[in-house]
Chains A and B, each alone.
Chain A
Amino acid sequence: MKQLILAKYTLIPLNCAALILFLIIFVGAVLWVYRRSGRDYYKYMENLPLKGD
């Protein structure tokens, strides 16, 4: 069994589950980053390189 899993077996269900999990995390992160609060903070951060020489 171990031989098959580690050497040959194609773990398609596991791949699919991982893909769905990563997609959920990704969508969650996008929603979190684009929430309305923190506008001032982002404004401040994006202007950081423009300060100084």
Chain B
Amino acid sequence: MENSGYTGELERFSYDDKTVKKFVLATMIWGAVAMLVGVIIALQLANWRFNLFNLPWLSFGRLRPLHTNAAIFAFAGNAIFAGVYHSSQRLLKTRIYSDFLSALHFWGWQLIIVLAALTIPLGITTGKEYAELEWPIDIMITVVWVAFAVNFFGMLFTRRERHLYVALWFYIASIVTVAVLHIVNSIAIPVGLLKSYPVYAGVQDALVQWWYGHNAVAFFLTTPFLGLMYYYLPKAVNRPVYSYRLSIIHFWALVFIYIWTGPHHLLHSAMPDWAQTVGMVFSIMLLAPSWGGMINGLLTLRGAWDRVRREPILKFLVASITFYGMATFEGPLLSIKSVNALAHFTDWIVGHVHSGVLGWNGFMIAAMLYYVVPKLWNSKLYSEKLANAHFWLGTAGIVLYMTSMWAAGVTQGLMWRAAEGSKLVYPDFVETVTRIVPLYWVRVVAGVLYLTGYLIMLFNLFKTISLGVKQPEKVYTAPRLMPFRSDKKGHRLIEGLPALMIVLTIISILIGSVIEILPTLLAHKYYVPEKITRKPYTPLELAGRDIYIREGCYTCHSQMVRSLPEDILRYGDRSEPEEFIYDHPFQWGSRRIGPDLARVGGKYPDSWHYYHMKDPRKITPNSLMPMYPELFTRKIDYGVMSKKAHVMKALGAPYSYLELRDAALNGQRQAASIAQDLKAQGAPGDLDDKEILALIAYLQSLHNKGDKS
């Protein structure tokens, strides 16, 4: 078996571990940044004063997307690249395909991260979760991802090992699917260099966004890490994976099913029922392949469990896989409509996500780093005691995080739905927030514990690196591959032909994508015409909407009255798809730290919003909302209104010629009118061109854009 397909002619080659080292170091550094920002925003939710100095770029709404982007794309992303390059070279017995592409990949990705770290706090954002980066950076991501893909597939086609080990299949699926997700979700029309509107609106945008969003979890935080598990776990235990056959089932079932599950983020919303049901059913089915993978991982340790007690790497691996099992049990559970009705928009989801990212991803990365750093730098781990301390601090942090957020989520969810007859028991939303603030402090402690463990790991690894002994590049030999023999059958044939493997993987992920997305993209054509009574946003409202997006209001406020009695009782009529046809992007949100805003327009006078933005505690004592002083000093950009209106017109908003021509003038008129009203209500009189007017115009427009009045 071993010699089949080889010429017998030996070739000499070496591995490019310099690139791997660079990605390892980047992982270590960006991980600390992501976790530090996480602790800061946890503090901001525990006490609003941690929105330091009321600086806009340090407010929760801007730092929260920075945290998620840093954790996913900087920390996990660099770890994936390090692991993929390190393991693939060894599994394929070949060097990374191109030194130039490796450099482009590494420096390009770091540049993207730096640009993200600059633009997101500055409020330059698309307002789409986990896809906040604006279009020029999106293009850079595409270029760098293509460089990565070519570099990886180049290795496949120059390999000296006939068959592709299961870890490589997971890498292939990740690379092709992330490319598809990123491109489809990022299609937008630019208004300028730093602003664009997505081509999708409302329900369309919601489905495409969560198809992307959930599959970012699937194909960025799951499949590459399963590949890493299938490589580093056998290496660390020094025994083969429990069942290679199970890994085949695991791979194909997971890749096929995962892509369908996005709509479980939109249950009870204005999304068509069939899409919600499909999302829920596939999410539940996903339990089977997920647990197949977890069982395959844990059983690989059969006969070696005693080593888990002694070896920190195995501790991290076992805990990581266990957290994967817990998160993939909880995910399907949360996707059941009745459970989701309680959990959605609460901290239960936040706890679920962090059990995955801190437990599964964070610990898998730690295991990988503890394994590769001594090998790459030709050293010995500086301190096993410190690694053990990292493990226990990290584990305590995760457990504390999960339990506090479960308690917070269930508490808040139950308070929202508590009713006596048709009367809410807790009609004042802020009551449901202040009740869980103590749990937010517990989360801060949890975050500090996890971060402390991580910093200990950094110290340990940097000491390990400093003890390394330089050695010349190792040279390996392996026989060259003969052209592929076509007498292979079944999966052996697929694994021998990477191009076929890639095509089949693409087909697997496209089936679910097309079936879910295509009807939704067409659905706008078939809305009930009588219900489309809403008008597009006025230029000032549109400017206000962009401020709403810039400040990250969607990170705390939803705009979706679900079809649940408690939502209707609290906020008004359920949201209908027709209400969102001019919403580029949709702003349904994913968490209610503040109340839903879908029907907030007209509920309060303009002055209420004015004083609320200036100091939320003046209006709502105990509110956690940051203050927004810059809205009272920054001027509205009337000059760009016409351009924005033209882009919206191109996207389907029925503006007339006059409305397009006079966009700026109409914006000024509406702003002057609001300023006059505010003055009459006692506000200062120098507001004519301040951003607060645009935001008020937008918020007041929300109640009847779907003409529910």
A residues with a Cβ closer than 8 A to B are: 2-3, 6-12, 15, 19, 22, 26, 29-30, 32-34, 38, 40-50, 52-53
B residues in contact with A22, CB < 8 Å: 285
Bound complex: CA of A19 vs CA of B281, how far in Å?
A: 9
B residues in contact with A32, CB < 8 Å: 490
Question: Would you give the shortest CB distance from B250 to chain A, in whole angstroms?
Answer: 10
Given A15-B277, A29-B249, A49-B165, residue A6 in contact with residue B519 (CB < 8 A) = yes
Listed stretches B55-63, B230-238, B427-435, B551-559; interface member: B230-238
A residues in contact with B91, CB < 8 Å: 48-49
Q: Show 28 residue pairs from A and B whose CB-CB distance is below 8 angstroms, ordered by the A residue.
A: A2-B526, A3-B526, A6-B522, A6-B523, A6-B526, A7-B526, A10-B273, A10-B277, A15-B274, A15-B277, A19-B281, A29-B249, A38-B490, A42-B245, A44-B2, A45-B163, A45-B244, A47-B240, A48-B91, A48-B161, A48-B163, A49-B167, A49-B230, A50-B234, A50-B239, A50-B240, A52-B476, A53-B90
Given A3-B526, A6-B523, A11-B274, residue A40 in contact with residue B1 (CB < 8 A) = yes
Given A3-B528, A7-B527, residue A52 in contact with residue B274 (CB < 8 A) = no
B residues in contact with A41, CB < 8 Å: 1, 492
Question: Would you give the shortest CB distance from A11 to chain B, in whole angstroms?
Answer: 5
Bound complex: CA of A15 vs CA of B280, how far in Å?
A: 11
Question: Would you give the shortest CB distance from B393 to chain A, in whole angstroms?
Answer: 30
Quick check: A8 and B231 within 8 Å, CB to CB? no
Bound complex: CA of A42 vs CA of B234, how far in Å?
A: 15
Quick check: A44 and B248 within 8 Å, CB to CB? no
B377 on interface, CB distance cutoff 8 Å:
no
Question: Would you give the shortest CB distance from B301 to chain A, in whole angstroms?
Answer: 15
Return the CB mask of B1-12 against A: 1 if under 8 Å, else 0: 110000000000
Q: Which 9 A-B pairs have the closest CB atoms?
A: A46-B240, A46-B244, A3-B526, A48-B165, A42-B244, A44-B1, A6-B526, A10-B273, A33-B245
Bound complex: CA of A43 vs CA of B527, how far in Å?
A: 57
By secondary structure, the A interface counts as helix
Question: Would you give the shortest CB distance from A10 to chain B, in whole angstroms?
Answer: 5
Bound complex: CA of A15 vs CA of B278, how far in Å?
A: 7
Residue among B248, B474, B476 with the most chain A CB within 10 A? B248
Bound complex: CA of A22 vs CA of B256, how far in Å?
A: 10
Q: B residues 496-530 with Cβ under 8 Å of A?
A: 519, 522-523, 525-528
Question: Would you give the shortest CB distance from A50 to chain B, in whole angstroms?
Answer: 6
Question: Would you give the shortest CB distance from B12 to chain A, in whole angstroms?
Answer: 14
Bound complex: CA of A8 vs CA of B234, how far in Å?
A: 49
Quick check: A3 and B527 within 8 Å, CB to CB? yes
Q: Which of A10, A29, A49 contacts B235 (CB 8 A)?
A: A49
Bound complex: CA of A38 vs CA of B165, how far in Å?
A: 15
How many residues on the B side are at the interface (Cβ–Cβ under 8 A)?
46
B375 on interface, CB distance cutoff 8 Å:
yes
Quick check: B165 and A26 within 8 Å, CB to CB? no
Q: Name the residue on A nearest B276 (C-beta).
A: A10
Q: B residues 453-508 with Cβ under 8 Å of A?
A: 474, 476, 490-492
B residues in contact with A6, CB < 8 Å: 272, 519, 522-523, 525-526
Quick check: A7 and B523 within 8 Å, CB to CB? yes
Quick check: B491 and A7 within 8 Å, CB to CB? no
Given A3-B527, A45-B165, A49-B235, residue A8 in contact with residue B272 (CB < 8 A) = yes
Quick check: A52 and B90 within 8 Å, CB to CB? yes
Bound complex: CA of A29 vs CA of B272, how far in Å?
A: 32
Bound complex: CA of A34 vs CA of B492, how far in Å?
A: 14
Bound complex: CA of A34 vs CA of B549, how far in Å?
A: 52
Q: B residues 12-50 with Cβ under 8 Å of A?
A: none
Residue among A40, A49, A50 with the most chain B CB within 10 A? A49
Q: Name the residue on B nearest A52 (C-beta).
A: B90
A residues in contact with B278, CB < 8 Å: 15
B655 on interface, CB distance cutoff 8 Å:
no
In the complex, given contacts A32-B490, A49-B87, what are 14 additional A-B residue pairs having Cβ atoms less than 8 angstroms apart?
A2-B526, A3-B528, A8-B273, A10-B273, A19-B281, A22-B285, A26-B253, A34-B245, A42-B244, A48-B165, A49-B90, A50-B234, A50-B239, A53-B375
B residues in contact with A11, CB < 8 Å: 274
B residues in contact with A33, CB < 8 Å: 245, 248-249, 491
Quick check: B528 and A7 within 8 Å, CB to CB? yes
Q: Name the residue on A nearest B300 (C-beta).
A: A46
Q: Name the residue on A nearest B239 (C-beta).
A: A50
Given A7-B523, A29-B249, A49-B91, residue A15 in contact with residue B163 (CB < 8 A) = no
B residues in contact with A52, CB < 8 Å: 90, 93, 476
Q: Name the residue on A nearest B529 (C-beta).
A: A3
Question: Would you give the shortest CB distance from A49 to chain B, in whole angstroms?
Answer: 5
B residues in contact with A49, CB < 8 Å: 87, 90-91, 165, 167, 230-231, 234-235, 240
